[in-house]
Amino acid sequence: MSPNPPTRRTQAERTAQTRRALLDATFESLVEVGFKGTTTAEVAHRAGVSMGALQNHFRTKTELLTAAVVHSFDRRIEEFGLLMAALDPSADKLDAAIDLLWSMFSRSTFIAWHELWVAARTDPDLARAVIEIDQQFSAACDRVYAEMFPTRNSGTAPNPRPAVHMVFALMNGLAVGTSIKGYDPYPVDEVLATFKSIARPLLTAGAQENQQEESA
């Protein structure tokens, strides 16, 4: 009995695979050789495709770079949501959320993002794209927060948004400070533990108010 012939991929499948290879290659290049070293030729070489194939998917380097980081952020947000959903119901949600968020900032996704952020300071086209990505990422994280700590907007609980912004400002600062391999200027665990105790009243006040109302 002869083996079944291999299933031929559709054009759409081949296109999606090439695009995915280009995005992965761009992301890896940003992490390994930085913004300056991430040329379209370097990405095409890493992805194993021709320059013509790359240009069929991405017209400019800016479009390619931002698409790669969006691709990575989308995966991280999905992963964050799944990990939070899988938490033991008895776990401290605030501690877990900050620890998981730090795991996102202390990995390669932030390195690639930081490369783009610094380059965007002097590149108006890249700056527009980076700002849009940052706003989308912040909105996604706001949605995750709202699901974790729902409020009834009664007006008695403090607005949690400044505290959420503080979380990201802290994460950015810690991640930049520890981005040089082998150099750790801050005791990250101690900083995060102190921040949790400071941020808890602001981040959880609305949720605690809901619990008190439900138990009354």
State both tokens at 207: 């949720």
The structure's pTM equals 0.78
Q: What's the confidence (pLDDT) of residue 82? A: 78
Q: What's the confidence (pLDDT) of residue 160? A: 60
Q: List, in order of start, the domains of the chain with CATH numbers.
A: 8-59 (1.10.10.60), 70-215 (1.10.357)
Q: What's the confidence (pLDDT) of residue 205? A: 63
Return mean pLDDT, the chain.
Answer: 82
Question: 3-class SS at 89?
Answer: coil
Q: What's the confidence (pLDDT) of residue 213? A: 46
How buried is 68 (Cβ within 10 angstroms: 0-12 exposed, 13-18 middle, 19+ buried)? buried
* 3: amino acid identity, one letter: P
pLDDT band, residue 212 (cuts 50/70/90): very low
* 70: amino acid identity, one letter: V
Q: What's the confidence (pLDDT) of residue 164? A: 76
Q: Which of 108, 102, 107, 104 is nearest to 33 (CA)?
A: 108
The b/e string for 71-91 (b: 16+ C-beta within 10 A; e otherwise) is bbbeebbeebbeebeeeeeee
Q: CA–CA separation, 190 vs 134, rounded Å? A: 27
When pLDDT is averaged across residues 30-54 and rounded to a whole number, the result is 95
Judge whether residue 170 has pLDDT over 50: yes
